[in-house]
Amino acid sequence: MAHVRADRPLYLRARIFDRFDGLRWYSSAQQLSKLKLSRGEIALQPSTLASADRVTEHYEVFIEHDLGDYIPAAAVPLKVNFPATVMGMDAFGQLHSPGALRNGTAYAVESLRTYHQGRTFAETDYVELPNFTQLPKDLDPRISRLAEQVTDPHDNQFTKALALEQHLRNNYDYDFDSIFNSQQHTPLSRFLFETRKGHCEYFASALAIMLRTQGIPSRLVTGFSATNQNPLTGYYDIYALDGHAWVEAYVDGIGWLELEPTAYYDGPALDNETLSADQINDYVERQLRLQQAMGDSDLNLESVMTALWQTGYILFTWVGAYLKLFLLNTWPWLTGIGAILLCLWMVWPQIAPRWHAYRIRRRLLSAAGVSADEAVASHLQAIDDLLRNAGYRRPAGLTIEKMLDRLAALEIPLHADKISREFNHLNYSDHRIEVDLAHYGQIFESLYSLGHAGLRQRIHDMQ
């Protein structure tokens, strides 16, 4: 239905209800005040400097499907950028657009969050309205007794409200099926004392009424839970099933305390979320649960293709999110490794020939205990490899005599005639002779001692 770009999870209020008849909630705020925007912007309240107990939230909302005329926004909106020239505001401070919100609408809001003892508050002022303490005439007396029992150990409204919230979170179960079976119809007694399970409106209604039985003003809030962060995009995805109900209670003259009685939901977070494996797994698990809840029971081509598309999207998001997590956690190491590889790539043309020359020498020194002809062949091969490493390309069919001539041209001391005789005798005669391998080694060491740059320069001058 929408995407939200924000630093942390938010609860976006859409409507506030103050009257309950025992089954349904109603709002007394029917009249709207007209507000004019200047170039699509309006300041609803003066901006407040951030402090230890107050934080300003900046976020953007992108509508993906048509909604009503309400403008979902987190409490308390200070400034709004909206694509319109006018908007409306009801008595509870909720914003309304001139018409229904259409797909493609985008707007930005700056909201103020107030903190007290680790909990978030909405407005800190209180407008005296009798409906905030109104109770149905035929309210089941067991509800008041239960509320009294839960709050009896506490001596102030703040702790009483938290005790009632935790009682519902810890002792009642969330029921997905009830979302489709009972909307805008809340059988409180049946929920509290019989089934002990239901959807968010059951929990919120029960808490709001139990608070009122203890003299604590309360109101039921409906809107959207923007807490399902896509780990790949970083946006908070809002689906139809993210439509939510929660409670605000005015406690101890501090302000309207935000309460989340439904255990399935965690409530708006105080801290920024960071990408983690748990968050990725929670997102995927929630997407699978939503897919199952919203799946079509009829088996047809369209439903199968939709299910396959959704499964593919979830898999893609899961893989992409873990890749993103890996990059976020390892980018300093990857950057360092990349810098090292880049430096090696830049200096490799200078290092590689020297490294190859070293390996040629090591290979020659390791060739011990072989026959004379093999030893001579190893030395001549090493000499040839060293020359090629320095840029010399031996022409095909080069005889030993011509090779020795080129070595002499490089100013390398050698006994050309002796080497030529030994080579030809070893390769073309069956008689064994004594070979002076030291001389071959001296030729190689003479070339090697020139270094790569020196040998390369001599080859260049010779050619």
- Only one residue has tokens 């976006």, namely 12
Element (H, E) at 127: none
Asked whether residue 91 is assigned to any structural domain, the reply reads yes
Does residue 308 fall inside a structural domain?
no
Give the model's pLDDT for residue 170.
95
pLDDT of residue 29: 86
- The answer to whether the predicted template modeling score (pTM) of the entire model surpasses 0.85 is no
Q: pLDDT value at position 171?
A: 96
Give the pLDDT score at 159: 95
Give me the domain span that covers residue 405.
367-462
Number of domains within the chain = 2
What does the block give as tokens for 93?
A: 């401070």
Please name the helix (run of DSSP H) or strand (run of DSSP E) that holds residue 17, with its range, or none: strand 10-17
* Alpha helices per DSSP H over 294-434: 301-366, 372-389, 400-409, 416-428
Q: How far apart are CA 219 and CA 376, in angstroms?
A: 99
d(CA 215, CA 50): 32
Residue 32: name the closest of 94, 101, 76 by CA: 94
Nearest to 103 by CA among 71, 66, 132: 66
146, containing H or E segment: helix 141-151
In angstroms, the Cα distances linking 284 to 184, 230, 289, 315, 374 are 29, 9, 9, 8, 67
Determine the Cα–Cα distance for residues 245 and 236; give it in Å rounded to an integer. 18
Quick one: 256 and 372 in the same domain?
Answer: no
Q: Give the model's pLDDT for residue 51.
A: 59
Residue 235 lies in a domain: yes
What's residue 287's pLDDT?
A: 67
Q: Which residues of 278-315 are buried (b: 16+ CB within 10 A; e: fewer)?
A: eebebbbebbeebeeeeeeeeeeeeeeeeeeebeeebe
Strands 173-174 and 197-198: parallel
The pLDDT averaged over each successive group of 10 residues in the chain (463 residues) is 91 94 90 93 76 83 93 94 94 92 95 88 77 92 96 95 96 83 78 93 96 95 89 84 92 91 78 65 67 55 62 75 80 88 87 89 81 82 87 79 83 81 77 76 87 85 77
Mark whether 265 and 380 lie in a shared domain. Answer: no
238 three-state secondary structure: strand
Question: Residue 422's pLDDT is what?
Answer: 78
Domain boundary (251, 273, 295) is at 273
Domain end residue (candidates: 238, 273, 308): 273
394 and 245 co-located in one domain: no
Q: Which of 233, 248, 273 is the last residue of a domain?
A: 273
